[in-house]
Amino acid sequence: MSMVCLSDFEAYAKKYLPKIAWDYFAAGADDCTTRDENILAYKRIRFRPHMLRDVSVMDIRTKILGSEISFPVGIAPTGFHQLAWPDGEKSTARAARAMNTCYIASTYSTCTLEEISTAAPGGLRWFQLYIHRNRAASQQLVQRAEALGFQGLVLTADLPYTGKRRDDVRNGFRLPPHMKVKNLERAFEVCKMSFLDPSVTWNDIYWLQSLTRLPIIIKGILTREDAELAVKHGVQGIIVSNHGGRQLDEGPATIDALVEVVEAVRGRVEVYVDGGIRKGSDVLKALALGAKCVFIGRPALWGLAYKGEEGLQDVLKILQDEFRLSMALAG
């Protein structure tokens, strides 16, 4: 196939991944309304372009929490990359380093934090954390990540329980026997996340701050009120996210929620967004509405499914080129 846009990678992944893996990556909660709305909301936003601007030279670099990246697209935390490619998260880390951007490694990686770190030394990596009932295990993960040179801690706030993803229930989704969630000591069953701690509150931000010097970014914020609480509790960044529409269905699309979060924050912390980014023009829309950077989830997995590290680099290069072109054409 000639890979021209991200939809081409999606079509490839849907055709060649095992159905149970495709269904897991594609799943949204309940009717998938929010999952689909994440994409549709971008299509309703229109540019007001300016003409006769000198766009012969453009600088698309940016900084997130002081670290420079080549363009404002990073890789969001997603689990189980070995379902898409044998090298799993090691390939993801290498692609991110090659493209000089940020990769947020998931708690539910099929490679260890040590393997991810060794695969791409010097790369910009943040670690995404779920707080478990066993707080000692969560503490150990945070301290391992810091010791390995991860540069940010991303707390996912929107998963006290797992959303109902119907295809996963129908398929009885489990990881294949040869794959493990390497950062957790005991066997993991995705449909029985009983070890997640549903009692987590804003006060646990203070607990995390007592464990680490890493900046804390909170992921899953969708409202003005929660954005203000995040600032009050001393986080350094917010990722406006609805978990790719995999948790509470019929909540807002993330690009719509971004506007009120940015207004509430008033520049006090950096704001990022994920969910529904499929074109370089989507990246420009998110930046125009106040995001510092966007993160991609499913498209990264499609790239891995295509050609591993090389395929993910291709996805990022297409977004980079489309973003640069959209900037130029918008003046």
Q: Which of 50, 81, 132, 243 is catalytic?
A: 243
**Cα 77 to Cα 82, 153, 206, 267, distances in angstroms:** 14, 11, 23, 24
165 marked among binding-site residues? yes
CB within 8 Å of 190: residues ≥ 6 apart: 24, 79, 162, 168, 173, 174, 175
90 marked among binding-site residues? no
CA–CA distance, 292 with 276 (Å, rounded to integer): 16
**Cα 238 to Cα 157, 225, 245, 264, 271, distances in angstroms:** 11, 13, 18, 12, 5
The two structure tokens encoding residue 44: 């309703």
297 marked among binding-site residues? yes
Consecutive H or E run containing 146: helix 135-147
Query: Pairing relation of β-strands 62-64 and 67-69?
Result: antiparallel
82 marked among binding-site residues? no
Q: What is the distance between the terminal CA atoms of the chain, rounded to a whole angstrom?
A: 33
Where helices occur in 216-253 by DSSP H, the ranges are: 224-232
298 marked among binding-site residues? yes
24 marked among binding-site residues? yes
97 marked among binding-site residues? no
Classify 188 as helix, strand or coil.
coil
CA–CA distance, 21 with 84 (Å, rounded to integer): 8
Burial of 147 (0-12, 13-18, 19+ CB in 10 A): exposed
Indicate if 243 belongs to the active site: yes
49 marked among binding-site residues? no
241 marked among binding-site residues? yes
174 marked among binding-site residues? no
243 marked among binding-site residues? yes
20 marked among binding-site residues? no
Q: Would you give the DSSP letter of residue 249? A: T
CB within 8 Å of 252: residues ≥ 6 apart: 34, 37, 222, 242
237 marked among binding-site residues? no
219 marked among binding-site residues? yes
130 marked among binding-site residues? yes
3-state SS string over 90-125?
HHHHHHHHHCCCEEEECCCCCCCHHHHHHHCCCCEE
The two structure tokens encoding residue 135: 């707080």
Owner of token pair 């529904």: 276
194 marked among binding-site residues? no
Binding residues for FMN: 77-79, 106, 128, 130, 156, 219, 241, 274-278, 297-298
Active-site residue set: 243
Binding residues for glyoxylate: 24, 165, 243, 246
